[in-house]
Amino acid sequence: TLHGVKGEAPGIRIALDTARASTGGIAGRLTLHLEEMEPTPQVLDLLPDEAREILADWVEGRRISSDALTIDARADGSLRFDGDLVLLAPQDDTSNNEAARGGLEMRPLLLSAADATDRRTLSGRILFRGFSFGDDIPLEDLDGEARLEFLHLGDDPAARGTLRIERAKLLDLTVEDATIPVDWKQGILRADRIAGTVAEGRLTGRLILHTREPVAYEGSARLEAFRVEAVREDLAPTGPPVSGLGNAWIEFQNRSGETRDLTARGGLTIRDGNLGDLPVAANIFAFFAEVLAVDPPPRFERADADFTLQGEVVTFRRLYLAGPLFDMPGRGTIDLGGYADLVF
């Protein structure tokens, strides 16, 4: 048994409060101080087996830093993590690697001893600071916290908890003050009461994810009283100026996880807007401004659209633009590659 032992190597300092060496790494209480180091198998081998199994997936292919990460491997086989961990891209990385990155704080995170069926359970609280999950989850630059009531590990995982978002990017849209309760059991993950703020509007929604093969998902979302100019700022900050107050809804499903199998239907309304500089309307207004000598030129103030998505093509069953001087009904399609075929 070791007490008060300290060691140091490039990028890492380790302090052993009370620890003992074993074939499964160091057991006991240890604190790591890390500075942009790339964790080698030799470094990971110092950790208790259970800690190594959890951290190895997080840090693979990353550099890591920590002001202080304490790991307490207890005599009953349980573990306690307390402290911070920052995931960074490898030095001189030019591969556009989309693995997870950003800061985590475990306050604390507990891993139970194995039960009679050899199953372990995670519970606790994790803070996120500018965290991005990578390719699998389109949530980036997350500031918030996850409260994990339980996460049963093993062949039949299950979990219950809540993700609270202070601010994040979801599919390039800024999400604020959001709450996502999650319940996962028997291969189905449910988030039934999603609520938050997007583009100054109120977002509500639900998501069901089938986590066993074949992977599938379905859900719905509604965004009420959002500001069009806030959406533009997120999605097209260098695009033409537009404004207005909008409402939108969508229902979607996918039975394979592949983009080609995604289907959806939804609707959009915009009121009290200035939509005249949208590309579809700009030439029309330039013509009216010159012929009618109107100053300022007329503008579209309202928009309505109903759409479906199938086979990677969005079909507008109804597309309607209106202003003080005229109305313009339309229809057409836009594929997910950006090719548009619209008729007014």
Asked if residue 306 lies in contact with residue 267, where contact means CB atoms within 8 angstroms, the answer is yes
What's the mean pLDDT in 140-156? Answer: 95
Asked if residue 226 lies in contact with residue 198, where contact means CB atoms within 8 angstroms, the answer is yes
Residue 114 DSSP label: P
**Average pLDDT of the chain, as a whole number:** 87
> What confidence score (pLDDT) does residue 291 get?
46
- Residue 292 above 50 pLDDT? no
Closest CA to 43 of 57, 28, 26: 26
Backbone φ and ψ of 185, nearest 5°? -160, 150
DSSP string, 149-209: EEEE-SSS-EEEEEEEEEEEEETTEEEEEEEEEEEEETTEEEEEEEEEEETTEEEEEEEEE
> What confidence score (pLDDT) does residue 46 get?
73
Residue with tokens 């081998």: 45
> What confidence score (pLDDT) does residue 154 get?
85
Band (138; pLDDT cuts 50, 70, 90): confident
What's the mean pLDDT in 147-162? Answer: 95
What's the mean pLDDT in 99-118? Answer: 92
Longest CA pairwise span in the chain (Å): 91
- d(C-alpha 270, C-alpha 340), whole Å: 21
Band (246; pLDDT cuts 50, 70, 90): very high
Asked if residue 260 lies in contact with residue 312, where contact means CB atoms within 8 angstroms, the answer is yes
Greater pLDDT, 270 or 336: 270
> What confidence score (pLDDT) does residue 53 get?
78
Residue with tokens 């307390």: 82
Greater pLDDT, 277 or 11: 11
- d(C-alpha 254, C-alpha 335), whole Å: 17
Question: Under 8 Å CB-to-CB from 224, ≥6 apart: which residues?
Answer: 201, 202, 204, 247
Asked if residue 221 lies in contact with residue 204, where contact means CB atoms within 8 angstroms, the answer is yes
What's the mean pLDDT in 298-303? Answer: 81
The SS3 of residue 44 is: helix
Beta strands in the chain (DSSP E): 2-9, 12-22, 25-37, 63-73, 79-88, 101-111, 121-132, 139-152, 158-170, 173-185, 188-198, 201-210, 216-227, 243-254, 262-274, 302-310, 313-322, 327-335, 340-343
- d(C-alpha 217, C-alpha 57), whole Å: 25
* Alpha helix segments (H runs only) across the chain: 41-44, 49-59, 228-235, 279-292
Asked if residue 142 lies in contact with residue 121, where contact means CB atoms within 8 angstroms, the answer is no
Greater pLDDT, 76 or 25: 76
